[in-house]
């Protein structure tokens, strides 16, 4: 089964997308659509992102095999598995406990040993494990949570959708260069809202 990923050029990202079995992250009633290029419900009002967007955001992170990566919004764990293929350590935070538990189990069964989970509000990032070479946020806040700026290493990349909770958002990539953040706009996207406890 092949995903349609036209526009994604990074061969390592494409290889990871080929390797990770998306059907393992999709609930049984949506299995028929596991390899279609669209988001699917994973329960609790949340979704596993569209494969093209997963690939695009991963490509923008410019991961090296030695990198430590933070993900906010573990959801099904699919994006975390893709990151685990390309980086050294993945730290992922999920606000809904049941989703975190299920995603952690899925990754364990698939044999990923370099992903650590935390249940909680990703607004605060994961201070103890910072700094990170890359941070990806897979739910949309209106603005970048300030702790995430602080937890990014120099030269680090932050990929995040920003915009109103029920509308269309903009996908941003920020690269930390000393005291500055260089911003790039990567177009319109639609994500589930970033929620607070």
Question: What positions carry a catalytic annotation?
Answer: 49
CA distance 65 to 40: 29
- Cβ proximity to ligand SAH: between 78 and 174 the closer is 78
CA distance 103 to 25: 8
For residues 124 and 112, give the distance between their C-alpha atoms in angstroms, rounded to a whole number. 25
CB 1 within 8 A of CB 24: no
And the tokens for 125? 């990032």
Structure tokens, 115: 């992903």
Q: Is 161 near ligand SAH (CB under 6 A)?
A: no
Q: Site for ligand SAH (CB under 6 A): which residue of 40, 57, 59, 75? A: 75
Asked if 37 is part of the footprint of ligand SAH (rule: CB under 6 A), the reply reads no
Q: Which of 10, 59, 85, 94 binds ligand SAH (CB under 6 A)?
A: 94
Q: Which of 70, 106, 122, 189 binds ligand SAH (CB under 6 A)?
A: 122
Q: Tell me which of 49, 89, 151, 169 binds ligand SAH, using CB under 6 A.
A: 49
List residues bridging with 135 in a β-sheet. 70, 158
Residues at the site binding ligand SAH, with contacts judged by CB under 6 A: 46-49, 72-73, 75-76, 78-79, 93-96, 99, 121-123, 138-139, 192, 194-196
């Amino acid at each position: 089964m092949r995903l349609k990923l036209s526009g994604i050029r990074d061969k390592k990202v494409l290889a990871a997308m080929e390797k990770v079995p998306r059907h393992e992250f999709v609930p049984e009633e949506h299995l028929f659509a596991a390899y279609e290029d669209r988001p699917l419900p994973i329960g609790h009002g949340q979704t596993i992102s569209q494969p093209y967007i997963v690939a695009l955001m991963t490509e923008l992170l410019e991961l090296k095999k030695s990198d430590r990566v933070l993900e906010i919004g573990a959801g099904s764990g699919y994006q975390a598995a893709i990151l685990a293929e390309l980086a050294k350590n993945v730290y992922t935070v999920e606000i809904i406990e049941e989703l975190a538990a299920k995603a952690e189990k899925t990754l364990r069964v698939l044999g990923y040993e370099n992903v650590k989970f935390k249940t909680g509000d990703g607004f605060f990032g994961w201070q103890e494990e910072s700094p990170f070479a890359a941070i990806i946020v897979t739910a949309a806040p209106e603005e970048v949570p300030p702790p995430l700026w602080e937890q990014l290493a120099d030269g680090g990349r932050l990929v995040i959708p920003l915009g109103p909770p029920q509308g269309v958002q903009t996908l941003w990539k920020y690269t930390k260069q000393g005291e500055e953040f260089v911003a790039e706009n990567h177009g319109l996207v639609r994500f589930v809202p970033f929620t607070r406890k």
